[in-house]
């Protein structure tokens, strides 16, 4: 559902901006505000259009959409944890090594010791949490900058990986882990014909319809509640337009996936994570406190936020998510290798910043980070489809990262000037 989420939350973001202005607000500022918050989604759409044209439509082929999701799933999972850390004003350079060590541990447990896969998965996640707790302790309670602690962690956990693996790859993984990483939901209700589009999996289509109804329903309820509190909301036609747009995007993606091989399991997992973490950051006290800490740590302390514990727990959370990504990555390759996860931290950090996080902290959204990750995923995929060499892909990704942050700084500066 990673492609669903941006569209729906985009709608949410724009609704949020809509109600932030009075009906008689200055239209010109409203537009620029809209652009700042939704710029990333517009950029994402443009990049998709661009590569669709360049690849002659291959980008949006059923199998390719599925590939983009599966190939980027672990980066997206890391990006979710990373955005929380960046919102709090910290950074984690160790996630690539944590991916490697947790893949290695799960491999040793499942392959060498025949531990049942659910138990092995659980143990690996716990180990990830412990790694996060170790780093969180030094950062939050001992007061060492996260940059240093996680730089050390990057070395420590890579070393641990090599030790655990004895410098060689371990595999193959049990069927279930491979299915989670690489597999698809089975066609529970069989196929139906979609006319010229050919056959498609009915179950996937039903899930898509349920998702669309769910999005529309929650948006409608939110709108009703806001109206009940006499807040300003989008005019009804605009609201409906956004819902319809979101529905079209979701259904388009689902139909393509259904025509290929049903829903990838990692997509289901990602959808649950994105939904859960979006709710956490917006609606749960703990999530709000992350923003408070990143925005002004002293003010947060004096408002009764337990700053140290907040920082500690977001690193624990990062450790668990990195362990999950590690198992999925290893399962996908069907082998835990010593070089697994190399430079994943950079991709996750880049995803967060492309997705609108601020270097100083206090700003960022889970959906933004996912979109940032997908932008890089689409660039990777699109450029390899048109046969671009890898150095050019790297070049483009670097420019995109710089441009995204430059755009953010620029809009902020303009907004600052406007308010004097």
Partner 1 sequence: MTDDNILRMRGITKTFPGVKALQDVNLSVRRGEIHAICGENGAGKSTLMKVLSGVYPYGSYEGEIYVDGELSKFGDIRASEQRGIAIIHQELALAQQLSIAENIFLGNELSNRGLIDWNRTNHEAAELLRRVGLTENPVTPVLDLGVGKQQLVEIAKALSKRVRLLILDEPTAALNDDDSAHLLDLLRGLRSQGITSVIISHKLNEVREIADRITILRDGRSIETLDPAVEEVTEDRIISGMVGRALENRFPPHESRIGEEVLRIEDWTVHSPTQRGRVVVSKANLSLRRGEIVGLAGLMGAGRTELAMSVFGRSYGTNISGRIFKDGHQIELRSVRDAIRHGIAYVTEDRKRYGLNLIDDIKRNISAAGLRKLARRGWVNENEEYRVANDFRTSMNIKAPTVASITGKLSGGNQQKVVLSKWIFTDPDVLILDEPTRGIDVGAKYEIYSIINRLADEGKAVLVISSELPELLGLCDRVYALSAGRVTGEVDRKDATQERLMQYMTKEQE
- Residues near partner 1 (CB under 8 A) are 16, 19-22, 25-26, 29, 225-226, 228-229, 231-232, 282-286, 288-289, 291-292, 295-296, 298-306, 358, 362-363, 417-420
**Cα–Cα separations (whole angstroms), residue 234 to 14, 239, 287, 310, 364:** 9, 6, 26, 35, 23
**Cα–Cα separations (whole angstroms), residue 254 to 159, 206, 212:** 42, 9, 11
Rounded to 5°, the CA angle 258-261-263 comes to 65
Residue closer to partner 1, measured from CB, 154 or 290: 290
Q: How far is the CB of 394 from partner 1 (least distance, A)?
A: 32
Residue closer to partner 1, measured from CB, 396 or 405: 405
**Cα–Cα separations (whole angstroms), residue 29 to 32, 190, 248:** 5, 52, 29
Closest to 214 (Cα-Cα) out of 159, 163, 251: 251
Q: Are 314 and 38 in contact (CB under 8 A)?
A: no
3-state secondary structure of 343: coil
Q: How far is the CB of 307 from partner 1 (least distance, A)?
A: 10
Residue closer to partner 1, measured from CB, 77 or 300: 300
Closest to 235 (Cα-Cα) out of 19, 6, 39, 5: 19
Q: How far is the CB of 161 from partner 1 (least distance, A)?
A: 36
Beta strands in 169-278 (DSSP E): 191-193, 199-201
Closest to 13 (Cα-Cα) out of 247, 352, 355: 355
Instruction: Provide the token pair at 75.
Output: 């980066």
Q: How far is the CB of 288 from partner 1 (least distance, A)?
A: 6
Q: Are 47 and 378 in contact (CB under 8 A)?
A: yes
Residue closer to partner 1, measured from CB, 261 or 306: 306
Residue closer to partner 1, measured from CB, 279 or 394: 279
> What dihedral angle (degrees, nearest 10) is formed by the CA atoms of 152, 110, 265, 284?
-50
Residue closer to partner 1, measured from CB, 225 or 409: 225
Q: Are 117 and 358 in contact (CB under 8 A)?
A: no
Q: How far is the CB of 340 from partner 1 (least distance, A)?
A: 36
Cis peptide bond prior to 172, omega within 30° of 0: yes
d(CA 164, CA 340): 13
Instruction: Provide the token pair at 414.
Output: 């303009």
Q: How far is the CB of 245 from partner 1 (least distance, A)?
A: 23
Q: How far is the CB of 36 from partner 1 (least distance, A)?
A: 12
Residue closer to partner 1, measured from CB, 167 or 419: 419
Instruction: Provide the token pair at 81.
Output: 């944890």
């Amino acid at each position: 559902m990673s492609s669903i989420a941006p569209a729906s939350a985009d709608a949410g973001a724009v609704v949020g901006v809509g109600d932030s202005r009075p009906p008689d607000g200055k239209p010109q500022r409203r537009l620029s505000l809209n652009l700042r918050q939704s710029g990333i989604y517009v950029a994402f759409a443009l990049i998709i259009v661009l590569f669709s044209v360049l690849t002659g439509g291959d980008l949006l082929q059923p199998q390719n959409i599925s590939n983009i999701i599966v190939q980027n799933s672990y980066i997206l999972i890391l990006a979710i944890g990373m955005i929380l850390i960046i919102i709090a004003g910290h950074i984690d350079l160790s996630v690539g090594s944590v991916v490697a060590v947790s893949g290695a541990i799960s491999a040793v447990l499942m392959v060498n010791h025949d531990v049942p896969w659910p138990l092995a998965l659980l143990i690996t996640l716990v180990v990830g949490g412990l790694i996060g707790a170790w780093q969180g302790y030094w950062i939050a309670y001992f007061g060492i900058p996260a940059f240093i602690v996680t730089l050390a962690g990057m070395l420590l956990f890579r070393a641990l990986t090599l030790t655990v693996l004895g410098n060689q790859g371990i595999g193959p993984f049990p069927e279930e882990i491979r299915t989670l990483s690489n597999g698809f939901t089975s066609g529970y209700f069989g196929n139906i014909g979609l006319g010229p589009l050919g056959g498609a999996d009915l179950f996937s289509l039903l899930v898509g319809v349920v998702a669309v109804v769910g999005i529309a329903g929650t948006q409608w309820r939110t709108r009703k509640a806001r109206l009940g509190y006499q807040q300003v909301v989008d005019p009804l036609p605009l609201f409906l337009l956004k819902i319809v747009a979101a529905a079209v995007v979701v259904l388009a993606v689902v139909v393509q996936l259904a025509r290929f091989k049903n829903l990838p399991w990692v997509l289901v997992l990602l959808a649950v994570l994105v939904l859960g973490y979006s709710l956490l950051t917006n609606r749960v006290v703990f999530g709000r406190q992350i923003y408070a800490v990143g925005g002004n740590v002293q003010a947060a302390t004096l408002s009764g936020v337990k700053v140290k514990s907040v920082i500690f727990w977001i690193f624990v959370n990062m450790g668990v998510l990195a362990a999950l990504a590690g198992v999925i990555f290893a399962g996908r390759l069907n082998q835990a290798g010593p070089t697994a996860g190399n430079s994943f931290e950079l991709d996750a950090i880049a995803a967060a910043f492309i997705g609108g996080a601020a270097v100083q902290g206090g700003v960022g959204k889970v959906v933004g980070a996912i979109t940032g990750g997908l932008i890089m995923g689409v660039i990777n995929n699109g450029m390899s489809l048109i046969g671009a060499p890898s150095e050019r892909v790297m070049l483009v990704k670097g420019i995109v990262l710089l441009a995204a942050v430059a755009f953010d700084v620029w809009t902020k500066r303009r907004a600052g000037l406007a308010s004097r």
